[in-house]
Structure 1
Amino acid sequence: MACRANALDRQTNASIEKGKTNLLLTNATIVTVNETRDVVFDGAMAVVDGRVAAVGPSNEVEKAWGGPSATAVDLGGKVVFPGFVNTHNHLFQTLLKGLGDDMVLKDWLSTMTFPAATHLTPDDCHAAAVLGIIEGIRSGMTCELDYMYAHPRTGLDEPILQAMDECGIRGVFGYGAMDAGLDFGVDPGLINKSDDIIKELDRLCSTYDGASDGRLRVWAAPAALWSNSESMLRGLYEVVNDHGDGITIHVSETPFDREATVAEHGCAGTECLEKLGIDGPNVLMVHCVWLTDADIKRAAAHDYKVSYNPVSNMYLASGVAPVPKMLRSGVTVGLGVDGAASNNGQDMLELMKTAVLLQKVAERDPVALTAEKALEMATIDGARALGLDDQIGSLEPGKRADFVVFDPYASPKSVPLHNPVSDLVYSSAPGCITDVAVDGRFLLRDGEIVVLDESAALREAQRCADDLCERAGITNRGSGHAWTLPAGM
């Protein structure tokens, strides 16, 4: 796909990749999310070889880092944030937006998601991943974990890794599968042999860990505790430990999730992980809506991380994750948009606002969660959840130059700006994200995707979505979609 960057963008990207030119952002408010949570007004940031070299007052940084080798970008008073980290997604589901409306998780899986997943092709996976990544970039997402558990056939993984590379994001590819769960609605076409999956995970880790100048990593991502045998779960965790990687898994998303896990393993939640020996700080649990107090205590003891997915939890009526309890217990919590089939979008801005408001109303406490904590969850805490907090999640010297530029004047919703963090979380629109960079390389520049032909990618995704629905026999679309009213009406 053709790059549509202008001359300045091409020069900036190429020179940074070659390590010969500094990028100097000036005339900005910089929200660092560093240890002391400094916000630099009238600030500047210097980038050298893809890393942050300096952050500080404009006059000081420009004096030290300006000059003929620096490509200067005057941001005209815009706000710079660390790139947003999405800790949970299923990119193949971008082709399924709007097909799973108004269903509980069990029905959503058995009537739509699993049937579609059994018909996925490599072209579908690539188009879906590009679509989801583009939408994520437009809402400031620079890093994400894709949780690919559907393997009805071989060849579905490399297209997603290719899409991550083409789009320039920092990606963690979660490879998983299912070898159990038939009694709980898993489609037979998605059942895999544990030995085959474990061998393939080892190959993917060996091949792609650290690829694309270190931007790509591979984790294990078994679909759920109840849809995998003990041997599968233990084997996957052994592989990622051997490679220095992590494992992510859906845990206690719904009462059904816990009941099915007890039926398969004799216990649920963190007790089950502990029993299986999956007990290190490289464990990222997803959803955790129905964790008990004992579960949270174990999570803190083992330094388990949590991915909080409020939009998905609301969409499927799964419940409200006890995030304040987790935070008070010292558990690291990041944010996840989840797959678009249980969100209908990939919007990190919407996610941050929803994450805060849901906890406020659930707890009936206006400070149950705050805008500042939502930003931390979307940046440094998300980075910590993926084991990347030494590289990303804040803007400070030595870290990778993954950043987002926010323009409040791009939308009346964001004006006036009094507090940049509040504006971002409560009053922003996707159009306010004007620039996004990874390793100092612009992926979005002045509101335009510059790494590929966005229009062509969107049309290809629509074509693949239409074809997938035809092959899978999904009729809840177009004239086949029934007008749905609330229960009892």
Structure 2
Amino acid sequence: MSTPEPLACGQTRAADLLVTAASAVVTMDARRRILTNSAIAIRDGRITDVGPEEQLRALYPGVENLDARGGVVTPGLINAHQHLTGDRLARCSIPDRLHPEVAITQWAIPLHASQESEEEELAATMACVEAVRNGVTTIVEAGTVATPDRVAAAVRAVGIRAGLGIWSWDPGEGLHAAPTHQVLERLAHHLDRYPPGGQIEGWVTLIGHDQVSDPLLVRAAAIARRYDARMTLHISSSDRDPAAYRERCGTRPITHFDQLGILGPHLLLAHALHIDEEEMDLLLATDTAVSMSPWAYLRLGQDAAHLARHSQFVSRGGRAALGCDSENAGDQIDILRTTALIAAFLPTDSAASRDVRAPSRAQLAFELATVKGAQAIGRGSDLGSIEPGKQADLVVFDTSHPSWTPMGADLYLQLVWGTDGRSVRDVVVAGQPVVRSGRCTRIDETALAGQVQHRASSLRHRAGIPVDSCRGLCPSPQAHRVNHLPLRSRTPPADSGLQPAQQPAQCCCACPR
């Protein structure tokens, strides 16, 4: 608990908001203190004091009060890998029995190819609403955005934070593909527009896998370093990437990245699930971070047994964070559900069971969603814990919710194993309440839902996606025609700055043609 500097008798301080009356404050500070009878003072979007409530009420008289009575206050949660657009408008429509490549190439890609810029903004708005209502205050978009300005508008409207990139790859043919030099120009322009450190900060986002050239990897990393920005790309979510790199380069992906010189603290690798010991050693030696999306590996059948690698990475001190991925890989944006799943794969320790001071698996998992997640995305100095000087990103959990009744003796166990985002009552981002009593303060959620439902049906029709996938994979003849339009007729939104690109002319279902 911070100790406010002594003031002369009767002297007071200025603040914009005082969070009071919480049952507990889970600080996630260096000592992982959980405070009672405490309040949090906020000014200019940052925490100024955390201390005894009676003392802070006297120091900050007349300040607007957020009454957290009956609540447990935690830092805002970090979602380090989230696709915000495209298949977000086909929620719970992509069958869960498809091979991952089919789900991506024949469902997700047609949706991204067919969406209009207004739909991209709508999808991102809906995604941010769901995220913040589940306690997520910071999202790293995973790199499949065609119109970043429209997505940035969605992020601002909801009031959360985001690391935002632009769809970037150079495979020759592919959705939004471009020559290497054009991709690099777009990335530099994007970082100029969204410099690091803001509510929306530009990231260097590459599609990754085996779909980016070595020159693009090397020069994109150089851009990230020059701008002091972060970089992310997908790699080794399955055994397909290691096989492709061995064939092309004679070595495994992360070993190849090390040879190229692109590993380092600026880099957040999405997944890195199918890695060997040498690759893990390289990640640790270079302080390269990993975002883990365990629900995706289960949903897509990507050999979740490899989550033991992630457990080892965390246990050895690797920088790691959690993500919820996309609709083809999981239909909820709820990081607390993810903490429970990753906790199940963290190692147990029989010796620790006799040491009450040893952190539980739940605590370790919750760290990945808060303080350690913030460190992994390069924001450890101002996000992830409740301490003076840090950004005032806070979540209030409603302990009257059935999942909190009765409240357990261990709040980490309660947060990770006992509840999920449905018990979030209030959310504050940069000192501004963006969720009150379970509803967004800045968005008309009813109107948004109506718009999303209407545009979702239209998008699925244009993309050739069957609306009723539960009755089989075969869409209507009209949907076949939509999906088999000449490849170059699928054009990106006019305001995206991206070029038309080819897609596989394959049936979007499993029926014979």
Q: Is the 8 A contact 1:129 1:163 kept in 2?
A: yes
Match in the other structure for 1:34: 29
Structure 2: which amino acid aligns with 1:168?
G
Match of 1:96 in 2: 90
Q: Does 1:268 align with 2:268?
A: no
Cα RMSD of the aligned pairs, angstroms, is 2.4
Task: Give yes or no for contact 1:100–1:342 (8 Å, CA) kept in 2.
Answer: no
Q: Who is 1:381 aligned against?
A: 372
Residue number among 260, 278, 294 corresponding to 1:310 in the alignment: 294
Q: Does 2:281 align with 1:297?
A: yes
Mapping 1:158-307, distance limit 5 Å: 158-180=149-171, 188-210=174-196, 214-307=198-291
| Counterpart-to-counterpart distance in 1, 2:313 and 2:420 | 29
What CA distance in whole angstroms lies between the structure 1 residues aligned with 2:193 and 2:397? 36
1:110 to 91, 101, 105: 105
The residue identity in structure 2 corresponding to 1:352 is: T
The residue number in structure 2 matching 1:15 is: none
User: Offset of 1:280 from its aligned partner?
Assistant: 1.8
Check conservation: 1:476, 1:482, Cα contact below 8 A: no
Q: Match for residue 345 of structure 1?
A: 332
TM-score normalised to structure 2 length: 0.83
| Number of residue equivalences | 450
Instruction: List structure 1 segments (4+ residues) > 4 angstroms apart after TM superposition.
Output: 358-361, 365-369
What is the rounded CA distance, in whole Å, between the counterparts of 1:405 and 1:444 in structure 2?
10
Partner of 1:45: 40
Give the Å deviation of 1:269: 2.9
The AA in structure 2 aligned to 1:475 is P
Question: Are 1:143 and 2:129 counterparts?
Answer: no
CA–CA distance in structure 2, aligned partners of residues 414 and 352 of structure 1: 20
Question: What is residue 83 of structure 1 aligned with on the other side?
Answer: 76
- Could you give the per-residue CA deviations for residues 435-464 of structure 1, whole angstroms, max 9, x where no partner exists? 011111011012121011111112222222
Assess, with a 3 A threshold, how the Cα gap between structure 1 residues 208 and 353 changes in structure 2: closer, same or farther. same
Quote the offset at 1:100 in angstroms.
4.1
Is residue 390 of structure 1 aligned with residue 381 of structure 2?
yes
Measure, in 1, the Cα distance between the counterparts of 2:360 and 2:107: 34
Please say if residues 356 and 369 of structure 1, whose CA atoms lie closer than 8 Å, have aligned partners that are also in contact.
no
Moved more, 302-311 or 53-62: 53-62
Structure 2 counterpart of 1:47, which letter? I
Aligned AA for 2:273? V
Offset of residue 111 of structure 1: 1.9
Maintained 8 Å contact 1:176/1:220: no
Q: 1:294 to 1:139 in 2, by over 3 A?
A: same
Equivalent position amino acid for 1:90 in 2: H
- Secondary structure of 1:221's partner? strand
In structure 1, the partner of 2:497 is none
How many Å separate the matches in 1 of 2:122 and 2:90?
Answer: 12
1:100–1:172 Cα change, 3 Å = farther
Matched residues in 1 for 2:347 and 2:99: separation? 24
Of 292, 314, 320, the residue aligned with 1:327 is 314
CA positional deviation for 1:314 = 0.7
Structure 1 letter corresponding to 2:90? L
Q: Secondary structure at the match of 1:337?
A: coil
CA distance in 1 between partners of 2:470 and 2:302 (Å): 29
- Residue 62 of structure 1 and its aligned partner are, at CA, apart by 2.4
Aligned with residue 467 of structure 1, among 458, 469, 477? 458
**Deviation sequence 1:213-265 (CA, Å, 0-9, x none):** x2111111111130111122222212221111011111211011221233344
Instruction: Give 1:372's match in structure 2, choosing from 358, 363, 377.
Output: 363
* 8 A Cα contact 2:334 2:420, kept in partner: no
Of 67, 70, 74, which residue of structure 1 is paired with 2:67? 74
Q: Is the 8 A contact 1:296 1:326 kept in 2?
A: yes
Give ranges in structure 2 of 5+ residues lacking alignment: 1-12, 475-513
Structure 1 residues 276, 477: closer, same or farther in 2, change over 3 A?
Answer: farther
Between the aligned partners of 2:184 and 2:172, the Cα distance in structure 1 is 18
Q: Which residue of 2 aligns with 1:4?
A: none
Q: Deviations over 1:300-343 (max 9, x none)?
A: 10000010111111101112321221023221111111112211
Q: TM-score scaled to structure 1, two decimals?
A: 0.87
